[in-house]
């Protein structure tokens, strides 16, 4: 992979406007908003190149983080707002 060109694998990749650890809320416009009414922390950001061509963002509540397990992924940048 000496001459690896990220654009050939992720042509639309960009910087995610969110960062790991950032506090967010689920946007009311998100189809899952009713189930996520608290403030959450971003715990994972991956590029979903196979299915969506978007970032796949996982969030977790303070209780999940305190327990050391649990998060929900499948959110995009459009689904979240800064808390």
Spell out the domains of the chain, with CATH numbers in brackets: 11-82 (2.30.30)
Check if the beta carbon of residue 28 is closer than 8 Å to that of residue 49: no
73, 44 contact by CB (below 8 A): yes
| Lowest mean pLDDT across 2-6, 37-41, 53-57, 68-72 | 2-6
pTM over 0.85: no
Q: What is the pLDDT of residue 7?
A: 57
How many residues are recorded in the chain? 83
The 10s digit of each residue's pLDDT in 14-54 is 788 999 999 999 999 999 999 999 999 999 999 887 767 78
The secondary element (H helix, E strand) that includes residue 9 is helix 6-9
């Amino acid at each position: 992979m000496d001459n690896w060109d990220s654009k050939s694998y992720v042509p639309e990749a960009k910087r995610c406007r969110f960062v790991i650890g950032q506090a967010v809320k689920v946007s009311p416009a998100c189809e899952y908003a009713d189930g996520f009414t608290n403030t959450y922390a971003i715990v994972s950001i991956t590029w979903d190149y196979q299915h969506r061509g978007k970032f796949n963002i996982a969030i977790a509540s303070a209780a999940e983080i305190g327990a050391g397990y649990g998060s929900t992924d499948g959110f995009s940048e459009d689904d979240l707002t800064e808390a």
